Chain A
Amino acid sequence: MSLVVPDGTGIDLQAGVPPSAAAAPARWSHRHLLDLDVVSWPEIELVMQTTDAMREVLARPIAKVPALRGIGVTILFYEASTRTRVSFEVAAKNLSADVVNIAASSSSVTKGESLVDTIRTVEALGADMIVMRHATSGAPYLAAEHFGGSILNGGDGWHAHPSQALLDLYTIRGHLPGGPNLHGRKVVILGDILHSRVARSNIWSLTAAGADLWLCGPSTLLRGFDRWAAAMAAVPGHGRFTLTSDVTAAVRDADVIMALRIQRERMSGGLLPSLREYAARFGLTLDRLALAKPEALVMHPGPMNEGVEIAPEVAVHPRSVITDQVTNGVAVRMALLYLLAGAAGRAREATGG
């Protein structure tokens, strides 16, 4: 399972992949990664296996391989972010890509430079891949329409954050007592579901994994998800999820609890009375964690408001895998950059370009 990248280098993935995984039938066929709704379960498993290989790379004394040498990766963030941007940057550099960082402010919109202009400019400057973060849902789809290379969605509005969902899945699989199979295991996402791209992308991947997914938060922040749940439930064989504002019912016997960040601006729209009230009713405290299974995993995509959605002692609890999420983030993003470059390379070969 080694992929040939355009300069003929590539890495030998075989060595890093467990024998069973090497036989995986899936091949990565997507030029872009915009969301997980169009990614099949075998493809998700391929990402997991490729991430295993990247973790082996990261364990080497010099965690650097030439897989993406000569490939231009532009990290184009229209929204402030430290951890995701740095995670992608480290991932791309570990693969020897030529990395350009652009911190575009959304105010460039008012200055008259459109997203389409920016994408064309970035392409003209030699980018083969763009990792993009944008405050507007769907923006990467517009970029993908006007870019000759690959777009990797680093988070768009409330819509999607596929690399986060994949690193969440990878982290769960790696730490879940009883093995990596999530089928029937209770996973709870707790917090501001309405505004969360992390929750939306996780719905696709966790239901595909067969998890017993629960979304829990104040009813104001679950708005509209009942329709999604009903639409999923109406299709036999599809995954499904449960909505509740009853935090006790949600966390009881949970295998995984993922708390989401609550943002202060939610108060201005009347969605929440106060952070104090939120922390009291929905915060992930030791008392609530005690209702979950004894070895339940505690997760958070960061950045955390300790004392609001998660108690400080829960964040550093032995069952917390929050720092593992960060470490795995680099490996998952290496895997995604690698797979996308491979698909783009094959597409170029196929067209003789």
Chain B
Amino acid sequence: MAEIRVAGSDVGRSVGDLELSRAWLVDPASGREGPGDLIVEGGVVRSVVWLEGADAEEIDSGGVVVSPGFVDLHAHFREPGFEDAETLGSGSAAAAHGGFTTVCLMPNTSPAIDEASVLARVRDAATRTGSPIEVLVYGAVSVGRDGETLAALGELADEGAIGFSDDGAPVRSPAILRNALVYAGMLGRVVVDHPEDRTLTEGAEANEGLVASILGLRGWPTAGETAAVARDLAVLRDALADEPNARLHLTHLSTSDALELVRRAKAAGLPVTCDVTPHHLGLTDEWIAGARRWAWEAVDGHGRARSPWADGALVAAPYDPSLRVNPPLRSAEDAAAVMAALVDGTVDAIATDHAPHTRVDKEVEFGLAANGISGIETALGVVLAAVDTGRLSLARAVAALTTGPATALGGWGWSGTRGLVEGAPADLVVFDRGSTWRVEADGLLSRGKNSPLLGRELGGRVLLTVAAGRIAYEDAG
């Protein structure tokens, strides 16, 4: 059993001296994992010692794990404009609770981050929170995120934008998307698209499938995502002719067909990356009907989705609005495709799409509820449940939370390393796979309590999160 000793702790303070002995270290940067000791002195990693032979006995990956701090490519901290749902302070605290030391915030605030001055304001406010979490910000692709007029990409980049996105909505005009890819490519930045063909999804409430049919919810077809991904890839190909540095990242892919398109595009050498969310990996649309089993428990021996009605798997009330999310929770087959794409590397990153909402916006009729799940604190627990199936390795999962997102961003905005590196300021998360925690509204540090996992036990309790050599989160228990 690993021991953790922290001297001089408090959120925001230097972690000081820290000794993590006989833990399971995972270092995606070097591709190595195994038993080891990690010593931090004065907030700096002094030594990483990999244990072997007798020293390594009885240490396995099922106990305390030390990994580089996680990077979230996709989060909403709602500031400015929606501070009753989240602030940079509460969001940073929630991120640290989830093991994240770097977050990339989407620009769908009010006002939208489509001008350098708004971006500067967000970065200043993030600094003032006192959290050591690194807050990175995307600029909008288009003015007011209307999809029609290109935003001030160059000025936003000068102010530190790590990339551009109209998230919450797709870049509506394909012509604007092409120009944005070209111009952002010139600036060395990635364009992140939320792929959704809104002509196919207008008014949609739940994944088009058995659950939506029985519950009478307006179907959200998978083609709504696939058609948009196909469009984006076609546009990217043209953009590359204009600007060889153009790069596209597709966020929160949820369907088997869209993932297959990305798999082929990558094989063809297109500069495209993508992420998936923990909820599209672990949860399915049958949760809306009242099922509460993991996605991998909802398929039969042939990999086909089972009917929760036939299985007697409906254990909760249907229509829980915390399950309303864009893209919607999909079928168990799609969730299996998400898992497979993570395993084979089609998916570069796990991103939370942390979308906190107030009770006013969420405690309403399912079809009227705001889209989104508050997920940054539960991401690790859901991912570890997937690891527990044996299909996804711990190393691959950690890579998708650390080096994968760094690759997708193309290295912009990084002050830290993404590895357990001697001599670097400590940037790491310590979690215990042998210890569970119960997800409860009061226990979530996010202002958004809109989690469908409330009441559920998750594994991988985060014991300590250190960012830039400073304490970001420490488990009180």
Chain A residues near B215 (CB, 8 Å)?
Answer: 137-138, 159
Interface string of A109-120 (1 = CB under 8 A from B): 100001110000
Bound: A156/B319 CA distance, A: 12
**Residues of B298-329 whose CB lies within 8 A of A:** 307, 309-310, 317-319, 321
B275 on the A face (CB < 8 A)? no
Q: How far is the CB of A126 from chain B (nearest CB, A)?
A: 24
Chain B residues near A197 (CB, 8 Å)?
Answer: 216
Bound: A160/B217 CA distance, A: 11
Which residue from chain B places its CB closest to the CB of A158 in the assembled complex? B216
Which residue from chain B places its CB closest to the CB of A78 in the assembled complex? B365
Chain A residues near B219 (CB, 8 Å)?
Answer: 223-224
B138 on the A face (CB < 8 A)? no
Chain B residues near A142 (CB, 8 Å)?
Answer: 319, 321, 363-366
A238 on the B face (CB < 8 A)? yes
A350 on the B face (CB < 8 A)? no
Bound: A159/B211 CA distance, A: 11
A114 touches B363 (CB 8 A): yes
Interface string of A193-206 (1 = CB under 8 A from B): 00001001000000
Chain B residues near A260 (CB, 8 Å)?
Answer: none
Which residue from chain A places its CB closest to the CB of B290 in the assembled complex? A141
Interface residue count on the A side (C-beta < 8 Å)? 31
B209 touches A227 (CB 8 A): yes
A81 on the B face (CB < 8 A)? no
User: Which of A136, A160, A227, A235 contacts B210 (CB under 8 A)?
Assistant: A227
Most chain B CB atoms below 10 A, which of A138, A145, A227? A138
A116 touches B364 (CB 8 A): yes
User: Which of A115, A157, A231, A238 contacts B216 (CB under 8 A)?
Assistant: A157
Chain B residues near A224 (CB, 8 Å)?
Answer: 208-210, 212-213, 219
**Residues of B175-213 whose CB lies within 8 A of A:** 205, 208-210, 212-213
A137 touches B205 (CB 8 A): yes
Chain B residues near A137 (CB, 8 Å)?
Answer: 205, 215-217, 319, 366-367
Interface string of B110-127 (1 = CB under 8 A from A): 000000000000000000
B368 on the A face (CB < 8 A)? yes
B214 on the A face (CB < 8 A)? yes
Q: How far is the CB of A67 from chain B (nearest CB, A)?
A: 29
Bound: A144/B209 CA distance, A: 26
A228 touches B213 (CB 8 A): yes
Q: How far is the CB of B260 from chain A (nearest CB, A)?
A: 21
B368 touches A136 (CB 8 A): yes
Interface string of B346-365 (1 = CB under 8 A from A): 00000000000000100111
Chain A residues near B365 (CB, 8 Å)?
Answer: 115, 134, 136, 138-139, 142
Asked whether A136 and B366 contact (CB < 8 A) given A200-B216, A231-B309, A234-B310, the answer is: yes
What bracket does the count of chain B residues touching chain A fall in? Answer: 20 to 34
Bound: A160/B214 CA distance, A: 9
Which residue from chain A places its CB closest to the CB of B288 in the assembled complex? A138
B366 touches A225 (CB 8 A): no
A277 on the B face (CB < 8 A)? no
User: Which of B210, B216, B360 contacts A159 (CB under 8 A)?
Assistant: B216
A234 touches B216 (CB 8 A): no
User: Which of B212, B309, B364 contacts A114 (CB under 8 A)?
Assistant: B364
Q: Is the interface of A mostly helix, strand, loop or mixed?
A: mixed
Chain A residues near B318 (CB, 8 Å)?
Answer: 138, 141
User: Which of B307, B321, B364 contacts A231 (CB under 8 A)?
Assistant: B307
Which residue from chain A places its CB closest to the CB of B363 in the assembled complex? A116
**Residues of B199-242 whose CB lies within 8 A of A:** 205, 208-210, 212-219
Chain A residues near B368 (CB, 8 Å)?
Answer: 109, 136
Bound: A138/B216 CA distance, A: 8
Which residue from chain B places its CB closest to the CB of A160 in the assembled complex? B216
Bound: A277/B172 CA distance, A: 35
A313 on the B face (CB < 8 A)? no
Chain B residues near A160 (CB, 8 Å)?
Answer: 216
Most chain A CB atoms below 10 A, which of B213, B364, B366? B213
Q: How far is the CB of B302 from chain A (nearest CB, A)?
A: 12
Chain A residues near B217 (CB, 8 Å)?
Answer: 137-138, 157-159
Interface string of A121-146 (1 = CB under 8 A from B): 00000000000001011110110110
Q: How far is the CB of A228 from chain B (nearest CB, A)?
A: 5
Q: How far is the CB of B242 from chain A (nearest CB, A)?
A: 36
A56 on the B face (CB < 8 A)? no
User: Which of B218, B310, B319, B364 contacts A235 (CB under 8 A)?
Assistant: B310
A12 on the B face (CB < 8 A)? no
Chain B residues near A231 (CB, 8 Å)?
Answer: 210, 307, 309-310
Chain A residues near B214 (CB, 8 Å)?
Answer: 37, 200, 228
Chain A residues near B366 (CB, 8 Å)?
Answer: 136-139, 142
Chain B residues near A158 (CB, 8 Å)?
Answer: 216-218
**Residues of A152-169 whose CB lies within 8 A of B:** 156-160
Which residue from chain B places its CB closest to the CB of A235 in the assembled complex? B310
Chain B residues near A138 (CB, 8 Å)?
Answer: 215-217, 318-319, 365-367
Chain A residues near B310 (CB, 8 Å)?
Answer: 231-232, 234-235, 238
Which residue from chain A places its CB closest to the CB of B310 in the assembled complex? A235
Chain B residues near A114 (CB, 8 Å)?
Answer: 360, 363-364
Most chain A CB atoms below 10 A, which of B209, B215, B307, B310? B215
Asked whether A235 and B216 contact (CB < 8 A) given A109-B368, A136-B368, A227-B210, the answer is: no
Chain B residues near A238 (CB, 8 Å)?
Answer: 310
Interface string of B362-376 (1 = CB under 8 A from A): 011111100000000
Bound: A47/B321 CA distance, A: 32
B317 touches A141 (CB 8 A): yes
**Residues of A215-268 whose CB lies within 8 A of B:** 223-225, 227-228, 231-232, 234-235, 238
Bound: A139/B364 CA distance, A: 8
Which residue from chain B places its CB closest to the CB of A195 in the assembled complex? B216
Q: How far is the CB of B121 from chain A (nearest CB, A)?
A: 29
Interface string of A86-115 (1 = CB under 8 A from B): 000000000000000000000001000011
A115 touches B209 (CB 8 A): no
B319 touches A141 (CB 8 A): yes
Bound: A252/B309 CA distance, A: 31
A37 touches B309 (CB 8 A): yes
Q: How far is the CB of A211 from chain B (nearest CB, A)?
A: 18
Which residue from chain A places its CB closest to the CB of B210 in the assembled complex? A227
* Sampled A-B contacts (11; CB under 8 Å): A136-B365, A136-B367, A137-B217, A141-B318, A145-B317, A157-B217, A158-B218, A159-B216, A160-B216, A224-B212, A227-B209
Q: Which residues of B are at the interface with A, using a C-beta cutoff of 8 A?
A: 205, 208-210, 212-219, 307, 309-310, 317-319, 321, 360, 363-368
List of 3 A-B pairs having minimum Cβ-Cβ separation, nearest first: A159-B216, A138-B319, A158-B216
Known: A224-B212, A224-B213, A235-B310. 8 other contacts (CB 8 A): A114-B364, A136-B367, A144-B317, A156-B216, A200-B216, A228-B213, A231-B210, A238-B310
